Amino acid sequence: MEQVTVTVTGRDRAIARVDAIKVGQRAVQRHVASESGKLMRSALRDEAPGTGRMGKAIGYRTSTQGETVQLRFHGPWFTHFVTKGTKAHEIWAGFYTGKSDKQFLFFEGSGVAHVHHPGAKANNFVQRAYDRSITGIRELLRAAGASLMGR
């Protein structure tokens, strides 16, 4: 049987490059998460309905666990009512806050025990913000991948 010899050149250089990619990966993950968060938060704030109170309350946090970087958004407690809509309903003082001793709802300086809410159409501003942001987020990911690979 004939003997074949294989010579590998550049092994040490390849191992060094893989090690550099592993080190840079963490920083790039955090950068992509942070920049994606800024893009999405800006879009959410722009798309949020109303006078700005809801939009100002929208924020995000990043966290890292193992190999995963997580990006989580938070907003006002009533966001799901806005995005999904509501049927006509009564609102009673203290009912939604859990504070049964609250006796009045205050609107423009006057207090009432309850109000009839006529309902609201769904306003899925979260989906619109996502649709508006996804191209920029994909571009961030593409650029991050290219920088990790040294291109």
Domain identity same for 15 and 70:
yes
Tokens of 69: 């970087």
Confirm whether 6 is domain-assigned.
no
Domain count, the chain: 2
- Percent above pLDDT 90 for the chain: 44
Confirm whether 3 is domain-assigned.
no
Domain identity same for 59 and 99:
no
Q: Give dist(CA 73, CA 40) in Å, integer.
A: 9
| Residue numbers of the domain that contains 114 | 86-119
Q: Give dist(CA 73, CA 54) in Å, integer.
A: 13
Domain identity same for 50 and 95:
no
Confirm whether 23 is domain-assigned.
yes
- Say yes or no to pLDDT of 73 above 80: yes
Q: What's the rounded mean pLDDT across residues 5-24?
A: 80
Rounded (to 5) percent helix, strand, coil in the chain: 45, 20, 35
Q: Give dist(CA 55, CA 58) in Å, integer.
A: 5
Instruction: Give the pLDDT band (50/70/90) at residue 134.
Output: very high
Q: What's the rounded mean pLDDT across residues 39-54?
A: 91
Domain identity same for 22 and 64:
yes
Q: Residue 44 in contact with residue 55, Cβ under 8 Å?
A: yes
Q: Name the strand (E) or helix (H) holding 148.
A: helix 125-148
Residue 100: what pLDDT?
A: 62
Confirm whether 92 is domain-assigned.
yes
Phi, psi of 95 (to 5 degrees): -65, -45
Domain identity same for 36 and 93:
no
Domain identity same for 138 and 64:
yes
Domain identity same for 92 and 132:
no
Domain identity same for 69 and 96:
no
- Say yes or no to pLDDT of 95 above 70: no
Instruction: Give the pLDDT band (50/70/90) at residue 44.
Output: very high
- Say yes or no to pLDDT of 38 above 90: yes
Confirm whether 112 is domain-assigned.
yes
Of the spans 9-18, 94-103, 112-121, which averages the highest pLDDT?
A: 112-121
Cα–chain center distance at 114: 35
Number of C-beta neighbours around residue 40 at 10 A = 22
Domain identity same for 72 and 48:
yes
Confirm whether 4 is domain-assigned.
no
DSSP label of 120: B
Which residues 6+ apart lie within 8 Å of 19 measured at CB?
none
Domain identity same for 33 and 106:
no
Residue 109: what pLDDT?
A: 75
Confirm whether 56 is domain-assigned.
yes
Residue 115: what pLDDT?
A: 84
Domain identity same for 53 and 67:
yes
Residue 20: what pLDDT?
A: 77
Confirm whether 2 is domain-assigned.
no
Tokens of 23: 């080190």
Residue 53: what pLDDT?
A: 87
Instruction: Give the pLDDT band (50/70/90) at residue 85.
Output: very high
